Amino acid sequence: MKKALKKYFASGLLVVVPIALTVYILMILIKFTDRLFPISFLPFYIPGFGVIITLCIILLVGIITTNYLGKKLVALGEFIIARIPLVKEIYNSIKQISEAMFAMEDTSFRRVVLIEYPRRGIYTMVFVTGITKGEIQAKTKQKLLNVFVPTTPNPTSGFYLMVPETDVIELGMSTEEGFRLIISGGMASR
């Protein structure tokens, strides 16, 4: 009985915690943007209006930065940021993660594969983030893939490996299915 209760409680946590954190973060975002853009001209409160405004601002910035002048402004801003010691490292890290996660034309986080890790005979599901380039690739004999090894139940933490392409086993699952499997600790397998 005690063992079954423990199992059910752990399973419940794996489902409830991600949902609760998502709702909590969304509530913080909504409250923050509502305070940032108060609607003082209306006699009533509209929950989530700040989110709509924020999404419109993000879309507007995207439209501006995709043209020639916008790209020059972004390059100028990045040039200035590159001159500020601590800010440069923080900005570059966030930018690289954002580019990997949101790149439309890239294949970042688009493939879910298996590798034998941490030793032969034990398999780990990983996300391919790109192809190794530069000095590292030049010094190896095989084509290497950059992979992100997520941790369970929080796939946003993990680590980076470079794996020979020949050692990768392709999977047919989508990135979303892969994340679901990791978050559930293997309980949400298809």
- Residue for token pair 């941490």: 118
Q: Which residue in 82, 149, 75, 84 sits closest to 118, CA to CA?
A: 149
Position 14 scores a pLDDT of 52
Class of domain 111-183 (CATH, top level): mainly beta
Does the pLDDT of residue 105 top 50, yes or no? no
Task: List the domain boundaries for the chain.
Answer: 2-102, 111-183
Position 139 scores a pLDDT of 93
C-alpha to C-alpha distances, 39 to 32, 51, 59, 115, 124, nearest whole angstrom: 13, 13, 20, 52, 50
Is there a contact between 144 and 164 (Cβ–Cβ < 8 Å)? yes
Position 44 scores a pLDDT of 67
The angle that helices 49-65 and 68-81 make with each other, rounded to 10 degrees, is: 100
Give this prediction's pTM: 0.49
Q: What is the pLDDT of residues 36-67, one digit of tens each?
A: 766 655 666 666 676 677 677 778 878 888 88
Question: Band of the pLDDT at 187, cuts 50, 70, 90?
Answer: confident
